[in-house]
């Protein structure tokens, strides 16, 4: 009976769309689903594509649960309604719009700009694909009240998305996120959307904004003299068919680097991502072609950005000359170590500086902050929370940098989102700095572990697609809340942090203390030996994520592989006990 009720509701939604002012191709696709593809009909119409706290993300296609011009249009109309209400005192409201390389991204971006214009809002639209961080920069540079970037980040090719930014250049957070969601939900039909904006009124953004942005990236350099002394560091960079294709090489060259190699096949802008299974630099296969190129030319550093160029994955050479992949925790740690140590050496630390990381990112960064007597914040996953910390402190403190384990990092506060262009530039500077000291980036990694502790992290993604998958993920979270582990690998669980309930529980005494962070469906289990296990459903993909972090002292350089192996085995045992492998 329940399945029949769902099917009836789905059919009613599909019929409503058939009777709305949509194009003929969409109507034909709906008729085909109604007549012969019940499964696709349910997946396309069983719900409205959720406008979440960051915007939209979903599979492209026809239907209420798909990314298309109509769901994008309804989201934009809701955003416009909120902007008109929120900034009613202003004579002019403006929005900046950008897009990545994905199929339909230029179309969705243009429609977004047109709807803004139709609502009397000034719209700036980039003349081609641009990195997400440049959109954040442009909002601040132009004094816009909001911004939109059309991207699904590193998701597979069938996805697209729509991220909304506020006037500070950061992604929307409370109260604006929930208020915009309310306005979007109030758009009951496609007919409520003002699609007829005058394209001639859209203002084009191009080279002038690019130049301003690159100038700010280069200003973040701490030791330009080491680049001048070692400009010939061999670097291989790939945009994986995405928006970093021009801006990363341009930034590196302006920094002073002269030996930049590309991967020609992956410089081709293509939303089908033909050379990779997934355009995600977190996945080792996405860097295969770049690694091959690096071995051909003898490169010291490999860097790959995702389609909207806000994340970067890297590879460096170990002491045997072999290229090894560096994970997101390590990349964020290397960047943090360089920034903190060099700010310290140059006497730039006054007691008012700080860094930020997310709650699932390595505690090594916290150790470094404490060592250099720099304040740090832990925030929920998402750079919008890092941007919020910057906004709250920008008149009294100086932001050095911040990052998260999923290959995102931000340097300085001129952009309020993770930035692969700035990160690539700083990573290249670290390579030059290492060489100036007669070392490699691998040596710097070991140096960092010797100075602090050797942290080892791991991540498991459990994918569960569709309606049934979403329900299963919720059941898994409910199970962990009802029956949390009391011991793992022989070490007691001493603290359980439940960010949905916003409380931390001492497992030994039962004492509860509040967590001063927004509500989020995240659980953390802290063990007596200092290990940390975090569990959270992804907010953008059909998966639940399990994060593992363990550590130990590293006393001697030659013990690195042994201690690392011991920590890896420890994580494997935790995964086995949780029945994840």
Which residues are known to be catalytic?
Answer: 153
- Residue 437 and residue 433: Cα distance in Å, rounded? 7
- Residue 312 and residue 56: Cα distance in Å, rounded? 23
- Residue 74 and residue 193: Cα distance in Å, rounded? 6
Nearest Cα residue to 474 out of 395, 561, 538: 538
- CA-CA-CA-CA dihedral for 123, 126, 131, 136, to nearest 10: -30
- Residue 97 and residue 451: Cα distance in Å, rounded? 44
Q: Alpha-carbon Rg of the chain, whole angstroms?
A: 24
Q: What contacts 368, CB < 8 A, 6 or more positions away?
A: 333, 336, 337, 340, 448, 452
Q: DSSP secondary-structure letter at 221?
A: -
State residue 94 phi and psi, 5-degree precision. Answer: -130, 150
Alpha-carbon distance values, 112 to 58, 119, 122, 170, 206 (Å)? 17, 11, 12, 19, 18
Instruction: Please state the three-class secondary structure of 29-53 as a single string.
Output: HHHHHHHHCHHHHHHHHCCCCCCCC
Q: Are 513 and 504 in contact (CB under 8 A)?
A: yes
- Residue 477 and residue 484: Cα distance in Å, rounded? 10
**E strand segments, 464-557:** 487-488, 491-498, 503-506, 512-514, 523-527, 532-537, 543-552
Q: What contacts 560, CB < 8 A, 6 or more positions away?
A: 446, 449, 454, 554
- Both tokens of 402, joined, read 């911040």
Q: Are strands 512-514 and 260-262 parallel, antiparallel or unpaired?
A: unpaired
- CA-CA-CA-CA dihedral for 194, 195, 199, 201, to nearest 10: 10
| Sign of the CA dihedral with 81 first, then 84, 87, and 89 last | negative
- Residue 204 and residue 202: Cα distance in Å, rounded? 6
* H or E segment and range at residue 377: strand 375-379
Q: Are 432 and 230 in contact (CB under 8 A)?
A: yes
| Sign of the CA dihedral with 123 first, then 128, 133, and 134 last | negative
State residue 67 phi and psi, 5-degree precision. Answer: -80, 120
* CA atoms lying within 13 Å on the CB side of residue 398: 11
């Amino acid at each position: 009976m329940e399945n029949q009720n769902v099917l009836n509701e789905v059919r009613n939604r599909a019929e409503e769309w058939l009777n709305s002012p949509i194009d003929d191709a969409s109507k034909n696709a709906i008729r085909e689903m109604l007549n012969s593809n019940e499964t696709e009909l349910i997946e396309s119409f069983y719900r409205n594509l959720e406008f979440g706290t960051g915007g939209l993300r979903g599979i492209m296609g026809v239907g209420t649960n798909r990314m298309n011009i109509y769901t994008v249009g309804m989201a934009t109309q809701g955003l416009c309604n909120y902007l008109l209400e929120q900034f009613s005192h202003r004579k002019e409201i403006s929005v900046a719009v950008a897009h990545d390389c994905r199929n339909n991204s230029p179309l969705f971006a243009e429609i977004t700009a047109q709807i803004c214009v139709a609502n009397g809002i000034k719209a700036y639209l980039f003349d081609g694909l641009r990195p997400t961080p440049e959109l954040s920069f442009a909002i601040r540079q132009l004094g816009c009240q909001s911004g939109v970037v059309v991207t699904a980040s590193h998701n597979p090719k069938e996805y697209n998305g729509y991220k909304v930014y506020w006037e500070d250049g950061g992604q929307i957070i409370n109260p604006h996120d929930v208020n915009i969601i309310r306005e979007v939900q109030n758009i009951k039909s496609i007919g409520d959307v003002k699609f007829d904006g005058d394209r001639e009124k859209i203002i084009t953004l191009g080279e002038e904004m690019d130049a301003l942005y690159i100038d700010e990236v280069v200003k973040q350099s701490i030791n330009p003299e080491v680049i001048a002394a070692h400009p010939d560091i061999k670097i291989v960079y790939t945009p994986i068919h995405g928006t970093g294709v021009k801006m990363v090489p341009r930034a590196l060259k302006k920094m002073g680097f002269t030996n930049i190699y590309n991967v020609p096949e992956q410089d081709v802008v293509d939303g089908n991502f033909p050379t990779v299974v997934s355009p995600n630099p977190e996945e080792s296969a996405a860097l295969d072609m770049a690694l091959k190129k690096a071995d051909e030319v003898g490169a010291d550093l490999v860097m790959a950005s995702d389609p909207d160029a806000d994340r970067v994955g890297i590879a460096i050479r170990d002491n045997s000359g072999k290229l090894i992949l560096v994970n997101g925790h390590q990349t964020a740690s290397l960047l943090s170590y360089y920034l903190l140590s060099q700010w310290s050496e140059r006497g730039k630390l006054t007691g008012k500086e700080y860094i930020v990381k997310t709650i699932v990112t390595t505690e090594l960064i916290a150790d470094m902050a404490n060592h250099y007597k720099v304040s740090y914040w832990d925030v929920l996953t998402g750079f919008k929370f890092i941007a919020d910390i910057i906004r709250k402190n920008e008149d009294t403190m100086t932001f050095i940098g911040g990052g998260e384990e999923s290959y995102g990092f931000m340097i300085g506060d001129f952009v309020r989102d993770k930035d692969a262009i700035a990160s690539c530039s700083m990573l290249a500077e670290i390579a030059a700095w290492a060489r100036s000291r007669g070392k490699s980036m691998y040596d710097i990694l070991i140096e960092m572990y010797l100075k602090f502790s050797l942290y080892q992290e791991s991540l498991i993604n459990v994918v569960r697609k569709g309606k049934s998958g979403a329900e299963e993920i919720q059941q898994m979270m409910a199970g962990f809340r009802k029956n949390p582990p009391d011991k793992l690998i022989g070490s007691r669980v001493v603290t359980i942090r439940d960010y949905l309930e916003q409380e931390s529980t001492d497992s030994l005494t039962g004492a509860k203390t509040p967590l001063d962070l927004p509500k989020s469906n995240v659980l953390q289990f802290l063990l007596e030996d200092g290990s940390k296990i975090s569990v959270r459903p992804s907010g953008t993909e059909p998966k639940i994520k399990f994060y593992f972090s363990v550590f130990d002292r590293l006393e001697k350089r030659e013990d690195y592989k042994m201690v690392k192996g011991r920590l890896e085995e420890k994580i494997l045992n935790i995964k086995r006990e949780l029945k994840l492998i």
